[in-house]
Amino acid sequence: MLTTNPFAVLSEVVPASLLQIYVALMILAVAVGTLLDAFHKGSAKYFAQRRAKAAAMARRPLSGGDKLSLAACTIGEAAVSGEFCKWPRRVSHLLMMYGFIAYVVTTFLMVFCYTVAAQTPPIVPALWTLGALMVLVGGLWFFFFLRVNVAYDGDPPLHVGRADLFILGLLTSTGFGLLWKIAQAGGGNSSVSLTLFAIYIAGTTFLFLAVPWSKFAHMFYKPVVAFQRRVEEANGSTDLPTPEAGRLSRS
């Protein structure tokens, strides 16, 4: 089961070209949804104004090398979820982040590059399965134990708000994707397998179409904001208190 390309097996009843069109539409949905989210919230306008203000207030000029170094630090921080101080949240986000990356990349490869099951390198579907499992572990851990509204606001564990749309879509997509693959390995394109595939597609479609209303777009905003914060700290234009100032104010 681990080394079988489920999309290639599915092509016996669903044309590979139809799956390719679907994936392309979901990529387009993410791009359009992110732009709509930025327009609705005014994020792009706010960031442009913030950047212009920071440039005008800069006390120290930054070279191209300085900015490149800051970008590398930002990428390094994002790669280890360095914005989280507590290890449970960091581990949960790392599992979801790297699991989701593996899940998306291998889905693209299996749908576009390896449409014949026998030609699919075994590592590709294996990484797809591993990625989905990582998302499930990290996502369920986060949903039931680490959500801020549950941990600090006293809401019931199953309370669902707008902020939970992304994690619910992610769990539905990966969870039913795995169930579909298991059912397919046991009975090919059976009625049970196709039913699970339909739910998997519905969950995946919800995940990507809900971008304007969920936290999906935050994955693109956060690195940009983190980089700008580092630039402002480096050129002296930041209006945020420094750790030293915070210690002095408490003394």
Could you write out the DSSP letters of every residue in the chain?
A: -TT--HHHHHTTTS-HHHHHHHHHHHHHHHHHHHHHHHHHHTHHHHHHHHHHHHHHH-SS---HHHHHHHHHHHHHHHHTTTT--SHHHHHHHHHHHHHHHHHHHHHHIIIII--SGGGS-THHHHHHHHHHHHHHHHHHHIIIII-HHHHHS---TT---GGGHHHHHHHHHHHHHHHHHHHHHHHSS-HHHHHHHHHHHHHHHHHHHTGGGSSTTHHHHHHHHHHHHHHHHHHT---SPPHHHHHHHH-
**Which of residues 251 and 171 earns the better pLDDT score?**
171
pLDDT in tens, 43-100: 777 777 878 888 888 888 888 898 899 989 988 888 887 777 788 889 999 999 999 9
**Which of residues 130 and 218 earns the better pLDDT score?**
130
Residue 246 has pLDDT above 50, yes or no: no
**Which of residues 142 and 130 earns the better pLDDT score?**
130
**Which of residues 222 and 22 earns the better pLDDT score?**
22
What predicted TM-score, i.e. pTM, was given to this entire model? 0.83
240 falls in which pLDDT band (50, 70, 90)?
Answer: low
Average pLDDT over residues 229-241: 82
